[in-house]
């Protein structure tokens, strides 16, 4: 199954402004979510395919993906990353969604060995959760790296997500080397 050849062009509409709160109960209505996926160990493309194939089982539906991007590692030495952005809808609240994403990382071979950046088979980050702003010890949404990683900005724009201020986008585009790594997924 090649998840990188399918495209879904319908844009996800955002719901009304929602307050920032955490609860473990499912959200009644579906919420638009945007995720970052990356890998720089092993068969990077296959790692991304496996993660994308597992997302519907985690409660993320109507999944669509950006192009693949090959990016240099930031804050560490190692192989270049293969990255993409995925968009979908979920009925899960942010904290349970984060827990499921971290469990999938573990299942696919990622081991968190303390602070700092390290090479990894898979990295899954929650970039945006509807139009909510969340700031806790375990989760920050919008993800703080959005304005620092060009592939995130390109992928989010490609999928119709709300973007940060244009000055932030321009600065990120100038700072980071990003190379398209093949066709659309």
| Residues involved in catalysis | 110, 120, 123, 125
| Three-class SS of the chain | CCCCCCCCCCCCCCCCCCCCCCCCCCCCCCEEEEEEEEECCCCHHHHHHHHHHHHHHHCEEEEEECEEEEECCCCCCCCCEEEEEEEEEECCCHHHHHHHHHHHHHHCCCCCCCCCCCCCCCEEEEEEECCCCEECCCCEECCCCHHHCHHHHHHHHHCCCCCCCHHHHHHHHHHCCEEEEEEEC
Report residue 94 as tokens: 């942010």
Rounded distance between C-alpha atoms, residue 47 and residue 87, angstroms: 18
Distances (CA, A) of 175 to 12, 119, 124: 29, 21, 23
- What is the separation of C-alpha 28 from the centre of its chain, rounded to a whole number of angstroms? 23
């Amino acid at each position: 199954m090649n998840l990188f050849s399918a495209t879904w062009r319908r844009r996800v509409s955002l719901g009304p402004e929602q307050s920032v709160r955490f609860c473990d109960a499912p959200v009644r209505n579906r919420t638009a979510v945007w995720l970052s996926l990356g890998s720089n160990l092993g068969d990077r493309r296959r790692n991304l395919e496996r993660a994308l194939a597992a997302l519907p089982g985690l409660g993320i539906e109507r999944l669509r993906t950006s192009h693949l991007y090959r990016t240099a590692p930031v804050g560490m030495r190692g192989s270049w990353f293969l990255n993409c952005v995925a968009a979908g809808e979920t009925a899960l609240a942010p904290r349970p969604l984060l827990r499921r994403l971290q469990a999938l990382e573990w299942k696919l071979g990622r081991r968190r060995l303390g602070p700092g950046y390290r090479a990894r088979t898979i990295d899954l980050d929650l970039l945006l959760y509807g139009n909510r702003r969340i700031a806790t010890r375990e989760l920050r949404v919008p993800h703080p790296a959005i304005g620092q990683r060009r592939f995130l900005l390109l992928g989010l724009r490609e999928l119709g997500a709300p973007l940060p201020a244009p000055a932030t986008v321009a600065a990120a585009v100038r700072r980071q080397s990003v190379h398209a790594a093949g066709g659309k997924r």
